[in-house]
Amino acid sequence: MSQEANKTINQPKNRVEGKLKVTGEARYSAEFAPPNLAYGAIVPSKIAKGRIKKIDTEAAQKAPGVIAILTHQNTPRLNSPPEEFIGDNGLGESRQPLQDNIVHYAGQHIAVVIADTQVRAERAAELVKVTYDWQEPLVRLEQTSSSVFEPELFVGREKLQISRGDVTQALNSAAIKLEQTYTTPVEHHNPIETSATVAEWSGERLTVYDTTRFIKGVQQVLAQSFGMPQAKVRVVCHYIGGSFGSKGFQWGHVVLAALAAKQTGRPVRIELSRQQMFTLAGHRPRTIQSLTLAATKEGKLIGIKHATLTHTSPIAQYTESAGLMTKSLYACPNLEISHKLARLNAPTPTVMRAPGQASGMFALESAMDELAYMLNIDPVELRLRNYAEVEPQEQKPWSSKHLKECYERGIERFGWQQRNPLLRSMGDDDTLIGWGMATTTYPGMRQPASAKATIFANGNAVVSSATHEQGSGVYTVMSQLAADSLGLPLERVKFELGESQFPKAPVTGGSWTTASVGSAVVAATEAVKDKVLTLALGDRTSPLFGSSQDQIAISDGRLFLKDRPSVDETYAEILSRANTDAVEAEVKTEPGDEREKFAFFSFGTHFAEVKIDPFGQVRVSRIVGVYDVGRILNPQTARSQAVGGMVMGIGMALMEHTITDYRYGRYVNPNLSEYLVPVNADIDNFDISFIDRPDPYINPMGSRGLGEISIVGVAAAIANAVYHATGKRVRDLPITLDKLL
Work out the number of other CB atoms within 10 angstroms of the CB of residue 290: 16
Kind and range of the H or E run holding 158: strand 158-159
- CA 664 to CA 36: how far, in whole Å? 39
* Shortest Cβ 275–ligand MOS spacing (Å): 22
Tell me the window of 21-29, 351-359, 654-662, 675-683 that interacts with ligand MOS (CB under 6 A): 351-359
Residue 352 within binding range of ligand MOS, rule CB under 6 A: yes
Q: Which of 510, 625, 670, 705 binds ligand MOS (CB under 6 A)?
A: 510
85 close to 350: Cβ distance less than 8 angstroms: no
Q: Which is nearer to ligand MOS, 435 or 442 (CB)?
A: 442
* Shortest Cβ 387–ligand MOS spacing (Å): 26
Q: Which of 509, 591, 625, 734 binds ligand MOS (CB under 6 A)?
A: 509
SS (H, E, C) 546-558: CCCHHHEEEECCE
* Shortest Cβ 357–ligand MOS spacing (Å): 8
What residues have CB less than 8 Å from 573, skipping those under 6 apart?
none
CA-closest candidate to residue 285, choices 368, 393, 214, 358: 358
Question: Phi and psi (nearest 5°) for 253?
Answer: -65, -25
Q: Which of 44, 241, 355, 644 binds ligand MOS (CB under 6 A)?
A: 355
Q: Which is nearer to ligand MOS, 443 or 630 (CB)?
A: 443
Beta-bridged to residue 561, according to DSSP, are 552, 564
> Residue 315 class from Cβ within 10 Å (0-12 exposed, 13-18 middle, 19+ buried)?
middle
CA-closest candidate to residue 360, choices 101, 33, 652, 89: 652
Beta-bridged to residue 291, according to DSSP, are 180, 306
CA-closest candidate to residue 644, choices 331, 264, 242, 203: 242
Give whole-number Cα distances, 83 to 120, 224, 343, in Å.
37, 10, 20
Site for ligand MOS in 685-724 (CB under 6 A): 708
Tell me the window of 119-127, 253-261, 347-355, 407-415 that interacts with ligand MOS (CB under 6 A): 347-355
- What residues are labeled active site? 708
Do the strands 618-628 and 601-612 form a parallel or antiparallel pair, or are they unpaired? antiparallel
Q: Which is nearer to ligand MOS, 509 or 557 (CB)?
A: 509
Q: Which is nearer to ligand MOS, 249 or 598 (CB)?
A: 249
Amino acid, single-letter form, for residue 437: M
463 close to 494: Cβ distance less than 8 angstroms: yes
Q: Which is nearer to ligand MOS, 242 or 421 (CB)?
A: 242
Q: How many chain residues touch ligand MOS (CB under 6 A)?
A: 9
* Shortest Cβ 708–ligand MOS spacing (Å): 6
In the shown chain, the binding pattern of residues 201 to 240 toward ligand MOS, with x for contact by CB under 6 A and - for none, equals: ----------------------------------------
CA distance between the termini of the chain: 66
- CA 69 to CA 593: how far, in whole Å? 53
Task: Give me the residue whose beta carbon is nearest to ligand MOS.
Answer: 509
111 close to 125: Cβ distance less than 8 angstroms: yes
Q: Which is nearer to ligand MOS, 560 or 627 (CB)?
A: 627
* Shortest Cβ 537–ligand MOS spacing (Å): 44
In the shown chain, the binding pattern of residues 622 to 661 toward ligand MOS, with x for contact by CB under 6 A and - for none, equals: ----------------------------------------
Q: Which is nearer to ligand MOS, 483 or 648 (CB)?
A: 648
Tell me the window of 315-323, 346-354, 491-499, 579-587 that interacts with ligand MOS (CB under 6 A): 346-354
- CA 709 to CA 662: how far, in whole Å? 33
* Shortest Cβ 647–ligand MOS spacing (Å): 15
Q: Given the rule CB under 6 A, which residues bind ligand MOS?
A: 245, 248, 351-353, 355, 509-510, 708
